[in-house]
Each structure stands twice: as structure tokens, then as C-alpha cells.
Structure 1
Amino acid sequence: MSAEAADAQPNDAGEWSAEAANDPGGEGQSAERILNQDEIDSLLGFGLGEDDAAGRTGVRAIINSALVSYERLPMLEIVFDRLVRLMTTSLRNFTSDNVEVSLDQISSIRFGDYLNSIPLPAIIAVFRAEQLDNFGLVTVDSNLIYSVVDVLLGGRRGSVSTRVEGRPYTTIERMLVTRMIEVVLSDAKQAFAPLTEVDFKLDRIETNPRFAAIARPPNAAIVVKLRIDMEDRGGRLELLLPYATLEPIRKMLLQQFMGEKFGRDNIWEGHLASELWNTKLEVRAVLDELTQPLHKMLNLKVGDTMMLDASPDSAVKLMCGQVELSSGRVGRLGHSLAVRVEKPISPASQHAVMKLGGGR
């Protein structure tokens, strides 16, 4: 190789490196590159906006995948749809105005995330589900609070209500909203009535989400977002039920349609009862039981006598299989031997006989 060619090689290598770095479509794409902040946020599932879809991608989607979807409880949609229809009628009677209630969304969320997402100021009502032995939340946003107060106190339609942000709600405002929440809880009781009887009792009213904690932050809950419109006024009302509250009636919520049977059938019960009355059972009257060696029993002959520890007046046991039903006295009725029952059949014996019959 000549000296001129050797001197040209380093220069050519430097030019190739510069061209590769400046060429975005060349082989330079295979080199490592640093992710920008937007790509990192997308990977982790954190967005700068308040879009709910930000938490459905990346690492946050994997973390939140442990939440149970409300779609696994199909009866909830029917219950909440019934609640919307009941609330429309009840709030019209309550406000004497044209009220429209619509169901915006049913979603699953962690309880701690929900408390952090409540827009303040707001009124949070803690209620107790008596038969389910747990609690729930009703959240009324500021727009709906001022609209209800304006309607109930005779405000004119079309007028914009005066709102002083940053001040606590007055006693009159709290009382009027409390009356509306009691109407909503009464409608919720009627909505759950086809499934089970449950009474929703208002426990307390809070304005600070920290004091409305009814479950641990990681616990899953169902949030129902309702939109209440009163012509040119309105706002949002949210109903939260932890999954722990719905657990006692989970089997009922798994129904695909209202009235689906899960084991109790009146027709089958009547048929089973009629067949049981016609069932024939073999009942034995046992005078006494005697334990003897096997060789002695094998050597028995005609005419041998075995002495029993029973007298003619001794009570005999009435047996069905290995179950003792009752006891009585031996006698004669016409040309047949008979047993007069002297004590009733115990419920435990009846249950044991039914199990014995079911096993056969």
C-alpha cells in the first residue's frame, strides 16, 4: 500500500462518521438515543393533562389492572338505570322544576385516587348501608349545590347564581343539599329493592375529603357519575360504593337479568314436598342389641336360645337404617304386632333420614 492511500484512510473514516451522524435515514438510527420527557411520560403512563386515558397506558395500566371491572357485575347497570328513572321523578317533585337526570359513566377506581380527584369545594355525604354493614359516599359538586339552593329558594330562571368561591357553605346551603341527598338515598333503596332489601341511612356531611375516608386507599370501589340538569342550571352528583359494601350481594349482582333464579324454585319445592310424602321408608323395631363372638354366631343351630337384656315391658327403638327415629311399646293390633310411638321424631333425626335418602 502506498503512503498516499494510507493517509487517505483516516480522512475517509472521519467523513463517513460525519455523514452517518448527519443522515437521519441511514445506519445512524441503530445507535442508542435518549428518550425525551414526553416519551418517558407515555411509557410510565403519566400525562401532563387531566385526561383519564393517561392512566390506561404504560406502567400505570399494569398497576391498575388489578382493579375489578364493574362489567363483571352486570346487574349493577340495571340497578343504576332504575336509579336514574326514580331520581328524575323524585327530584322533579322535590324542586317543582323540570329536572333531567342522566347517567354519564360507571367506572372502577381505587378509593384513594377518588378522594384525590374530588373537585373542591364540594359536599360529601357519608351514608351507611344497614343490611350490608358498610358505607358509601355521595359527592355533590359546587355547581349542583348552588343550583339546588337557587331553585329551592325561588331563584329566577335564566339568571346566573352568585358564587363566592373560597368560603365555606352556609347552614342553609348544607341543609338544603342534605334534603336532596336524603331523596337520592331513598331512591337508591327502591333501586336495589328487586335484588335485596337495603336501607341507606345518612351518617354525616363532610366538606373535606380526608374526613370522608370509609375504606383504605388501595381498595377498589365503583363510581357512578350522574348529571342533573334543571333547564339552564345543574351539576354533577357522584355515588361511590366500595366493593366491600357490595360483597354480601355479589351473587345477586352476577345475574344476567332481573329475576334470574339461583337455586330457589317454588315449583320444584312443591314437587319435592309431594314426592317426599309418598316416599316409602323401611322402619325396624329393635328390641335389643347383643354383641357376640363371630365363631359363636357361626355355630348357632335350630333351637338355640339367646338371652336379650329386655323385658316384655321394655321400650323398643324405631330405626331407619342407622338412625334412631323414636321409641315405643310393643303390643298387638288385631292379628298383627304393633308398636305404639311414645315420643315425637326429633328434627335432627328427620335431617339425618333425608341425608340418608339423598345418599341412596
Structure 2
Amino acid sequence: MAAAEKILTKAEIEALLNAVFDGRIEPEKELAKTEGSVVTYDLFNSEAHKGFVPNLDIIYDSYIRYSRVTLSNRLRKSVEIKKIGARSYKFDDFLQTLPSPVCMGIFKIEPLKGAALISFDSTLVLSLVDSLLGGTGSAKVPVANRMFTSIELRLMEKIVGDVLQDLEKAWAPLYATHMNLLRMEMNPRLISIVPPEYQIVTMSLKLQIEDISGNIMFAIPYMTIDPIRDKLKAGMQFDLMAIDPQWSSRLSAEILEAPMETIVEMGNARITLRELLELVPGDTIMLDKPSSGEMLVKVEGVPKYFGIPGIRHGNKAIQISKICSNRGQ
């Protein structure tokens, strides 16, 4: 019946032929509409296939700067973070690379679609937990297949919260996001943030806590990043907006300690060259201001304040009376 419905009647065929002969229908154009257009796809240079996302590594550079300070303050230990490298996987293949158990945090990058995850290896989890509880951080590796306790997961949830806050700051210059932790998980088989055949982009980081080291891995679906790929391609200018808080605080401290030359101008006098050449010790030069009046205070040659002269603890001093209101000063 379905095939019979597609057969034209004799009247419909005649009407169609008349339309073609009259030029009202062009067969080539109609066929092109049904067949669709051809899109060139390079299997070898496809960015999606390689997992190449331009300038995404700059976001992780910014994250490393923030997280180094955050984790050092949280653990009260020296923390170093280095990038290992980025790689793309099919999601199912990526899950095969994860050990079991592994500590994972599933989070949402709002307003982008989909979810992402962060994973910590077992050695790093135990070191972080031991450090949070006041230990040395040199906890032994657990026996095979031992699941993490609810207390360990709860403590790791705090660490993941810190990580997401720092990641949110790193994304801010490029795209305003809110990182929202959905849940913690230990079994990779229970994770399904995208279908198995979808591409994800990963970034591996090595975290060094004094003598203990471990790996952190971020995994973000390609479909999550795809809507903002043009912004990522735009260039590296957003990285210039990222501020290293440690460098900024050191610079501010050094600037505040910079010496400044301060001069109090008691007054002015106009004399001739002859009078200048005839000056001898003991001569008096009359100024144009009384000694009890306000005097101009200059900082590095720039007028800044007015003050009243006096004596404090046996030293000559000046009390600031008002701020100089000259524009542009």
C-alpha cells in the first residue's frame, strides 16, 4: 500500500510534464534539493577526530596557577601541578583506561550542554585525605579493589569543590560559566555523561605534594565545547586577563615599600644674579609666605598636599591639612 500511494495518476503525470515544458519546474534543481549538498570531510585532519580544541590548554594553564595556591592553602603543604598532555577518546574507550576503583566527580559546566568529569587516582586520593586529616600525606596504596569509604569521598568532595571554583575562574576571561558538582562516583561502569561513541577531550595533570605525586584527569565532551570553538579560536588575548594572584600580591607588596621623595616647599623668593653671587653664610633670604601659613608638600616633584609646619619630638614636622586638588595631579 505504501508503494502504491507514491504512484502518480495519469492526470498528475500530464500536469508535471506540462510544468517542465513550460519552464515552471527545473528537474536539475529539484534533484539537487532531494539529494542534498556535499560537505568535504578530512578524516586525517579533522579536529573532532584528533580532539584538537584551540587554546583550551591556556584555560588549564590558568587553572594550574589558581589551583596551586588553593591546594597549598588547603593542605598547608607545598603543591606543584604540571600538565602531562591532552588527548581525545571515544567515551567508551576512555572508561576502559580508568582503574577501578577511581575517585570521580561529575560536574556541569553551565550554561554549556552536557556534563564533564574529573578523576583522581587512588594514590593521590589517599594522600589528599591523609593531608586533610593532619597527616604527612604519605598514606600507603590501598589493597586491590578496596572501595573508598564515605568519609574519604566526603573529604574528596571538598577538594573537588575547590578544583571547580578554580576552573570557573580560569574559564571566566573567555566564557562566563558556573561549575556545579552533580555527584561523586567510584565505578567507571556507572558513568554515562555521553553515549559511548561520542568524542571527549581529556587533559592529564600531575600533582606533586612534597614527595607524593598522583594524576588528575579532566574529561569534557567535544559537544560541550563545540558551541564556543569560535571563541577559543579567536586567539590568546583572554589569557592576558588571567591574573596570577600570588604574583599580584607580591607586586603590590613591593610597590607599597618603594621609597618616595617628599619635599615641603616653604616659599619662594626672587633675587638677581648679583645678589646670588654676593650671598655669604649668615645672610637671610625673605620668602613670600609666612612661616605659620600652609606649605605645599610635593611627592616626587608632584604637588599632593598642603600642610602646617611645626615641631614633634624635637624634630621639624608638617601636619597635612588638605589634599591638593589640582586636576591631573
Q: Same fold (TM over 0.5)?
A: yes
Letter in 2 for 1:232: D
Pick the aligned partner of 1:102 from 62, 75, 82: 82
Pick the aligned partner of 2:152 from 173, 197, 208: 173
Pick the aligned partner of 2:220 from 207, 229, 241: 241
Q: Secondary structure at 2:73's aligned position in 1?
A: helix
Q: 1:148 to 1:72 in 2, by over 3 A?
A: closer
Pairing 1:255–2:234 present: yes
Matches within 5 A, 1:185-196: 185-196=164-175
Contact 2:55 2:233 in 1 (8 A): yes
Matches within 5 A, 1:105-116: 105-116=85-96
Q: 1:162 to 1:109 in 2, by over 3 A?
A: closer
Pick the aligned partner of 2:176 from 197, 216, 220: 197
Matches within 5 A, 1:122-161: 122-156=102-136, 159-161=138-140
Q: Which residue of 2 aligns with 1:219?
A: 198
The unaligned stretches of length 5 or more in structure 2 are 1-41, 240-329
Letter in 2 for 1:194: P
Pairing 1:75–2:55 present: yes
- Provide the rounded CA distance (Å) in 1 between the counterparts of 2:58 and 2:46: 25
Q: Secondary structure at 1:86's aligned position in 2?
A: helix
Q: 1:79 to 1:204 in 2, by over 3 A?
A: same
Contact 1:75 1:256 in 2 (8 A): yes
- Provide the rounded CA distance (Å) in 2 between the counterparts of 1:162 and 1:259: 40
Q: Secondary structure at 1:68's aligned position in 2?
A: helix
Contact 1:67 1:108 in 2 (8 A): no
Displacement of 1:124 in angstroms is 1.5
Q: 1:69 to 1:194 in 2, by over 3 A?
A: farther
Q: 1:215 to 1:241 in 2, by over 3 A?
A: same
Q: 1:259 to 1:169 in 2, by over 3 A?
A: closer
- Provide the rounded CA distance (Å) in 2 between the counterparts of 1:85 and 1:207: 28
Q: Secondary structure at 2:214's aligned position in 1?
A: strand
Pick the aligned partner of 1:228 from 207, 218, 224: 207
Matches within 5 A, 1:280-295: none
Letter in 2 for 1:215: V
Q: 1:83 to 1:216 in 2, by over 3 A?
A: same
Q: Which residue of 2 aligns with 1:341?
A: none
Q: Secondary structure at 2:237's aligned position in 1?
A: coil
Displacement of 1:256 in angstroms is 2.4
- Provide the rounded CA distance (Å) in 2 between the counterparts of 1:66 and 1:126: 28
Displacement of 1:162 in angstroms is 5.7
Q: 1:247 to 1:154 in 2, by over 3 A?
A: same
Give identity over the alignment, percent. Answer: 31
Contact 1:182 1:202 in 2 (8 A): yes
Bigger Rg over Cα: 1
Letter in 2 for 1:174: L
- Provide the rounded CA distance (Å) in 2 between the counterparts of 1:173 and 1:75: 35
Pairs aligned (count): 198
Contact 1:225 1:236 in 2 (8 A): yes
Runs of 4+ in structure 1 off by over 6 angstroms are 62-65
Q: 1:176 to 1:63 in 2, by over 3 A?
A: farther
Letter in 1 for 2:179: F
- Provide the rounded CA distance (Å) in 2 between the counterparts of 1:234 and 1:164: 18
When the two structures are superposed, what TM-score results if normalisation uses the length of structure 2?
Answer: 0.56
Contact 2:116 2:220 in 1 (8 A): yes
Letter in 1 for 2:115: F
Displacement of 1:135 in angstroms is 0.5
Q: 1:206 to 1:252 in 2, by over 3 A?
A: same
Q: Secondary structure at 1:97's aligned position in 2?
A: coil
Render the CA deviation track for 1:166-220: whole Å, top value 9, x for unaligned. Answer: 2221111101111111111111100110011011100011111121111111111
Q: Relative CO higher for 1 or 2, CA cutoff 8 Å, sep ≥ 6?
A: 2
Q: 1:160 to 1:184 in 2, by over 3 A?
A: closer
When the two structures are superposed, what TM-score results if normalisation uses the length of structure 1?
Answer: 0.52
Q: Which residue of 2 aligns with 1:308?
A: none
Render the CA deviation track for 1:18-66: whole Å, top value 9, x for unaligned. Answer: xxxxxxxxxxxxxxxxxxxxxxxxxxxxxxxxxxxxxxxxxxxx99976
Over the aligned positions, Cα root-mean-square deviation in angstroms equals 2.3
Contact 1:150 1:161 in 2 (8 A): no
Contact 2:105 2:118 in 1 (8 A): yes
- Provide the rounded CA distance (Å) in 2 between the counterparts of 1:63 and 1:153: 51
Letter in 2 for 1:120: S
Pairing 1:86–2:66 present: yes
Render the CA deviation track for 1:51-91: whole Å, top value 9, x for unaligned. Answer: xxxxxxxxxxx999766266853221211111111111111
